[in-house]
Amino acid sequence: MPVDPSNMSNTALMQNMGAQNEYSSNTQVLWGTNINTNELQTQLREFLLTFTIMPNADDMQDDYAFNIEPYYITQLKQIAETEQYVLDINCAHLHEFNASLYRKLEDYPADVIPIFDLVALSVFKEQIGYGNQGDMQGSNLEHELNEQIIQVRPFNMTKSYQIRELDPKHIDKLISIKGIIIRTSDTVPEMKEACFRCIKCHKEEYKYIERGKITEPEVCDQCKGRHTFEMIHNSCMFSDKQHVKMQETPEAVKDGETPQTVQMCAYEDLVDHVKPGDRVEVVGIYRAKGIQLNSAMRTLKNIYRTYIDVIGYIKTDTKRYENDAEKPAEAQDQEMQDENQAGNEDMDQALNQEHDINFSAEQVRKFKELAANPSVYDILIDALAPSIWECHDVKKGILC
């Protein structure tokens, strides 16, 4: 997983876990929970290796059931072919496989998702079998995989919330909400790994971001100097970040109430994935961040600003466009001609119905009287939206 779709300390967590044996017999428990990491990895691994979607009995041929490949093994093989290192996890599958495992993902996503990333990468390396592709090719591929991370992106959660339903009990939980994108910011760089250099002996040290903060080294291990480090910005690593604002859908807002909004942060390849006007379902981690009294001081207010760290987007209004994209150009042209022909037929029918309307002699007289009035334009302007004062230019444009 990238440095922060879920938590700024993900990279540090994965480095620490990667340095140890992934399936060590030592008991390790996530801080603040009773979740055994070894047991968690075993359950996640079993899910990826064994979960299978059985077809309908009508579609299943003879001996077909014995040749069904686990669903996520197929997905991992597709990742090897497309080199798009993102694994979409259907939460309905996870809940069906193990409801307790699903609740761990929902309650502690900042800890579970990085572990899920490591397990997915381990299973991926086993399944593609890079050692059988030749010494040179195998070694290059192995080096590439060691530098790569499989990003696990859960979707289709069992419950979707409205923005106005979010409250403090959802903080640091994995949630799913629907809404309309109303604003997106430009791409901004965010530091994910800082480089410090000692001004005495020029030794360099790299520090990962942990919970949004960078800890500067105090003592140099080589020259034993204290507070001799300075940051080298050109050697630091940055990731793309974007601020997104989402609003409730109109049908979810009660009469007379103001639509609620929520701020979101998108990272890496999710930047510029949506644009204003898109209806989307967002899966992310609900965060709360303290507001500083002064940018130069560490003192925080007792008011927290909430936002969502985006894990994944699902567009809910693109079905029509996707279907059009899959059709050949000739089929799209034919469909467009059929739509135009149907529109012309509807217009002709409407005109015929208008001609068939019988007006009374009194109505005809009033029509002629209004047409002969030299101020008919002003009368029509005053009759259009009479509850809105002035705005004559706008009303003229609407009338035209």
Report DSSP letters for 92-150, one per residue: HHHHHH-HHHHHHHHH-HHHHHHHHHHHHHHHHHHHHTGGGS-HHHHHHHHHHHHH--P
301 with 387, same domain: the answer is: no
308 with 390, same domain: the answer is: no
Residue 198 within any structural domain of the chain: yes
Which of 374, 380, 379 lies closest to 400 in space, CA to CA? 380
Burial class (CB in 10 A: 0-12, 13-18, 19+), 21: exposed
256 with 306, same domain: the answer is: yes
Domain boundary among 294, 317, 340: 317
301 with 397, same domain: the answer is: no
Taking the C-alpha atoms of residue 42 and residue 27, their distance in angstroms, rounded to an integer, is 13
For residue 344, is pLDDT > 70?
no
325 with 376, same domain: the answer is: no
Q: Domain containing 384: what range?
A: 361-400
Residue 256 within any structural domain of the chain: yes
18 with 152, same domain: the answer is: yes
Residue 3 within any structural domain of the chain: no
Q: Are strands 151-155 and 86-90 parallel, antiparallel or unpaired?
A: parallel
Give the per-residue pLDDT at 345.
65
Which CATH number do you get for residue 138? 3.30.1640.10
313 with 325, same domain: the answer is: no
At a CB cut-off of 8 Å and minimum separation 6, what does 50 contact?
70
Residue 277 within any structural domain of the chain: yes
16 with 152, same domain: the answer is: yes
22 with 152, same domain: the answer is: yes
Give the per-residue pLDDT at 263.
93
- Band (pLDDT 50/70/90 cuts) for residue 1 is very low
pLDDT tens-place string over residues 235-265: 888 888 999 999 998 888 887 788 899 999 9
Among 127-131, 167-171, 255-259, the minimum mean pLDDT is found in 127-131
pTM for the complete prediction? 0.64
Residue 33 near residue 111, CB atoms below 8 Å: yes
* Residue 18 tokens, joined: 């990667």
Residue 397 within any structural domain of the chain: yes
Residue 165 within any structural domain of the chain: no
Q: Averaging pLDDT over each range in 107-121, 122-136, 306-320, 339-353, which range is the top one?
A: 107-121
Count of the separate structural domains present in the chain: 4
Give the per-residue pLDDT at 355.
57
86 with 223, same domain: the answer is: no
Give the per-residue pLDDT at 375.
85
Higher pLDDT, 146 or 42: 42
31 with 154, same domain: the answer is: yes
Mean pLDDT of 82-107: 91
pLDDT tens-place string over residues 34-83: 888 888 999 999 999 999 887 665 555 555 555 678 899 999 888 888 88
Distance (Å) of CA 154 to CA 1, 92, 148: 12, 10, 19
- Band (pLDDT 50/70/90 cuts) for residue 94 is very high
Which of 209, 195, 230, 213 lies closest to 298 in space, CA to CA? 213
136 with 240, same domain: the answer is: no
Residue 166 within any structural domain of the chain: no
Residue 171 within any structural domain of the chain: no
